[in-house]
Amino acid sequence: MNVRDDLRHGLRALARQAPAAAVPDDFFDRARARARQRRAVRASAGFVLVLTLALGLGLSRPGHVDSAGQPEAPAAGLPSELHLPPLWAASAESSPPGRTAMIFGGDATADAWNEGRFAAVAADGDRYRVFRDFVFTAPGSEALLSPDGESIARHRAVRSLTRPGSAVELPGDVRAFSPDGSLVVYETGEGTTTLNGRDHYGSRVEVYDLARRSVIAAVDNSDLPLFAGLAVSVSADNTRLALHLGDELRLYRLDAATPAAYATVPLNRELLAGSGSWLPDGSSLVTARRDSDGGPWRLIRRDALTGRETSVWAELEATEARHLRVLGWRADGAAVATAKLAAPDAAPEFKAGAEAGMFQEDGTGRVRLLAIPAGAGTPEVLLETPLGVSDLDVAAQIAAAGVTRASARPDYGPLPPALLLVAAVLVAIGGGVLTWIVRRRIVRRARENPGSR
Across 157-171, 284-298, 348-362, least confident range: 348-362
Give the percent of the chain with pLDDT over 90.
45
Q: Are residues 201 and 345 in the same domain?
A: yes
Question: Is residue 1 in a domain?
Answer: no
Q: Are residues 35 and 152 in the same domain?
A: no
28-69: pLDDT as tens digits: 666 666 666 666 666 655 655 555 555 554 444 444 433 344
pLDDT at 362: 63
Pairing of strands 173-177, 183-195: antiparallel
Question: Is residue 67 in a domain?
Answer: no
Q: Are residues 46 and 93 in the same domain?
A: no
Q: Are residues 230 and 351 in the same domain?
A: yes
pTM (2 d.p.): 0.75
CATH code of the domain containing 280: 2.40.128.630
214-238: pLDDT as tens digits: 999 999 877 766 556 688 999 999 9
Q: Are residues 235 and 150 in the same domain?
A: yes
pLDDT at 97: 92
What whole-number distance in Å separates Cα of residue 121 and Cα of residue 116? 17
Q: Are residues 427 and 399 in the same domain?
A: no
What whole-number distance in Å separates Cα of residue 95 and Cα of residue 109? 18
Question: Is residue 10 in a domain?
Answer: no
pLDDT at 252: 97
For 196-332, strand residue ranges (E) read: 198-209, 214-220, 230-234, 240-245, 248-253, 263-266, 270-272, 284-290, 297-303, 309-316, 321-329
Q: Are residues 277 and 425 in the same domain?
A: no
* 382 pLDDT tier (thresholds 50, 70, 90): very high
Pairing of strands 128-131, 118-122: antiparallel
Task: Report yes or no: 85 and 109 within 8 Å, Cβ to Cβ.
Answer: yes
What whole-number distance in Å separates Cα of residue 101 and Cα of residue 35? 60
| Per-residue b or e along 390-404, where b marks 16 or more CB atoms closer than 10 Å to that residue's CB | bbbbbbbbbbbbbee
pLDDT at 11: 72
Q: Are residues 447 and 398 in the same domain?
A: no
Question: Is residue 385 in a domain?
Answer: yes
pLDDT at 165: 79
Q: Tally the domains of the chain.
A: 2
Residues contacting 264, CB < 8 A, separation 6+: 248, 249, 250, 251, 307
395-424: pLDDT as tens digits: 999 999 989 988 788 999 887 655 556 666
Question: Is residue 65 in a domain?
Answer: no
Closest CA to 221 of 161, 261, 175, 181: 261
* 443 pLDDT tier (thresholds 50, 70, 90): low
Question: Is residue 410 in a domain?
Answer: no
Closest CA to 301 of 287, 315, 289: 287
Domain enclosing residue 222, as ranges: 78-405
Question: Is residue 48 in a domain?
Answer: yes
